[in-house]
Amino acid sequence: MNSAINIEQLKVGEISPFPIYDCDGNLLLQKGKLIHNECQLKALLTKGVNYIATPLAKTSPIKTDGIELRQVYGEQLFDAINDIIYRLSDVFTGIIDNTPSACEALYGIARDLQCVYNADPDASVASIHIGHDHPYSLIHPIQKAILSNALCISLDMPHTQRLSIICAALTANISIIELQDKLQHQEQPLNPEQKSLIQSHPLDSVEILRKAGFIDNDMLMAIEQHHEALDGTGYPYQLSADHISTGAAILSVADRYCAMVTARSYRNPLCAHEALQSFITAQDKQIDETLTITCINELGIYPPGSFVNLVNGETAIVIKRGGHGNMTPTVSSFISPKGGLYIRPFKRDTAHKDYAITGYSDDNDYCTLTA
């Protein structure tokens, strides 16, 4: 949760033990950077906030078939996201129990996610595609919030509105937490009771949040409308395009994409290109075309976290979006042309003809990574 900075935590001539942000989530000083003088220290104490101040959870390295992804993306981001996931579980409990501090705790998580994204946008996007050893009801809202934030930034939305949409992404399914985790492993079709709960969950979630003290109309409207469709076939009100809020439309796109790239017991996750292709070829016109294009442009054809094959025969994971419409990202090769695992991943610039991408990896084992 966010906390104020005090004089004992920072000293002139010493390095900062944590990143420092202002109240809008803008980075003032990176962790490990030197505090040079009294003027700088005074400014940090006046404006500074340490959003990610709780002790980070001890987590196992994220691996896939022997490759440790902290070698690729760095350790702190994944630890920060894991820490936020654990906190989100407590916040859900607090909201449902009408705990007075739950509102501020949720906004603290939303601000922390903004800070995490600002610190490393590419690794944050990668976390959408990399599975975590957490219940679906916890990891899905985090993924959805990260993508929603990215879309809001791309659309140049104001900070306060972005914060409302992130909070909406985190809590839109709070009324069906147990059902979500059950459906994640259920291979049978929905029964009538489950269908009823799904249909009513936008309104049920808003009711829970109102009782817990949430009064943010942008947030609540986005939740209430996030399953409406442009053609009027959505629920709960069958609203048409002109009556659906921008926040709800953003949530709809983020929700669909994140659901598609997440594994279920009855199917493997779609890899990024399959999910994006389904957006491009959608015939039902249920989601906003402008937002669809924004999502594709923001993620790129090869989003971070995607597994690709290179012209030299290597298999690699995308770590940074690149030029030419994100067609030439930076990747980290971890499987040799002969199929062996490299002891140390090699960074490759796919704009170079010797490391050009030939396509996505067909091995679905690399689409699901667990902590």
For residues 165, 80, 19 and 320, what is the CA-based torsion angle, rounded to 10 degrees?
-80
The pLDDT value recorded for residue 100 is 87
Q: Which CA distances in Å does 67 have to 28, 342, 362?
A: 34, 8, 18
Q: Which residue has the tokens 């609540």?
A: 220
Q: What predicted TM-score, i.e. pTM, was given to this entire model? A: 0.80
Q: Give domain limits for the chain.
A: 3-50, 70-299, 307-367
The pLDDT value recorded for residue 57 is 38
Rounded CA separation 355/333 (Å): 10
Running along the chain, 371 residues long, what does each successive block of 10 average in pLDDT? Answer: 62 79 67 79 76 40 45 66 89 93 92 88 90 83 97 94 97 95 87 95 98 96 95 92 94 93 77 79 70 88 91 94 80 90 88 93 52 35
143: closest CA among 132, 156, 153? 132
The pLDDT value recorded for residue 53 is 40
The pLDDT value recorded for residue 231 is 87
Q: Which residue has the tokens 């990143």?
A: 19
Q: Which residue has the tokens 């779609």?
A: 270
Residues 6+ apart with CB under 8 A from 216: 164, 167
Q: Which CA distances in Å does 106 have to 84, 88, 138, 142, 160?
A: 10, 8, 13, 12, 14
Helices (H), the chain: 38-47, 70-73, 75-96, 102-119, 121-129, 136-154, 159-171, 177-183, 192-211, 217-225, 246-260, 272-280, 289-299, 323-326
The CATH number of domain 70-299 is 1.10.3210.10? yes
